[in-house]
């Protein structure tokens, strides 16, 4: 039987715990890496969690794997990593993939909108016309 996106997300949610804004803020203060896996137009439109690294979902494995020329040194397997997207689905999938890659402390913040509406710190993109 083939799987659906819902199946994949359910499996990912079973292995990647969700964190609240307060829990995420505490982890961020202690040095956790925050990764926004949305596409660039989404980030440009709404901003991102303050201090977050933007790595589109399609580049995540390349940025997280130190064996590729695209590796981002901010990614370390011993560093807690918090992922988020627009609603929590892509971040669940991203978190599950990081766990498969050996990242042990991976958490799903869920959706950016929830973070922003709860008063989480947000960085807005610079207006290119300025």
In a domain, 45, yes or no: yes
The proportion of the chain whose per-residue pLDDT surpasses 70, expressed as a percent, equals 96
Question: 25 lies in a domain?
Answer: yes
Residues annotated as part of the active site = 85
Residue 95 in domain: yes
Residue 33 domain flag: yes
Strand, helix or coil at 33? strand
pLDDT tens digit sequence for 53-90:
999 999 999 999 999 999 999 999 999 999 999 999 99
Question: What's the pTM value of the predicted model, to 2 decimals?
Answer: 0.93
Q: Residue 51 domain-assigned? A: yes
In a domain, residue 127? The reply is no
Q: Assess whether pLDDT exceeds 60 at residue 130.
A: no
Residue 58 belongs to what domain range? Answer: 5-122
CATH code (residue 34): 3.40.250.10
Beta strand pairing call for 81-85 and 48-49:
unpaired
Residue 87 belongs to a domain? yes
* Average pLDDT over every residue of 113-118: 95
d(CA 24, CA 1): 37
* C-alpha torsion 43→81→27→105, nearest 10: 150
pLDDT of residue 128: 57
DSSP string spanning 88-111?
SHHHHHHHHHHHHTT--SEEEEEE
User: Is there a domain that residue 130 lies in?
Assistant: no
Q: Per-residue pLDDT averaged across 101-114, rounded?
A: 97
pLDDT digits (tens, 9 = 90+) for 17-41: 999 999 999 999 999 999 999 999 9
The total domain count for the chain is 1
């Amino acid at each position: 039987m083939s799987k659906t996106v819902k199946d994949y997300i359910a499996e990912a949610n079973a292995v990647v715990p969700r964190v609240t804004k307060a829990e995420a803020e505490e982890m961020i203060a202690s040095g956790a890496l925050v990764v926004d896996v949305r596409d660039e137009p989404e980030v440009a439109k709404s901003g991102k969690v303050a201090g977050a690294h933007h790595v589109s979902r399609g580049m995540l494995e390349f940025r997280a794997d130190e064996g590729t020329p695209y590796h981002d040194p901010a990614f370390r397997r011993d560093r807690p990593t918090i992922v988020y997207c627009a609603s929590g689905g892509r971040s669940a999938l991203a978190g599950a993939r990081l766990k498969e890659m050996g990242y042990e402390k991976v958490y799903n913040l869920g959706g950016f909108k929830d973070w922003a509406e709860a008063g989480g710190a947000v960085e807005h993109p610079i207006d290119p016309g300025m």
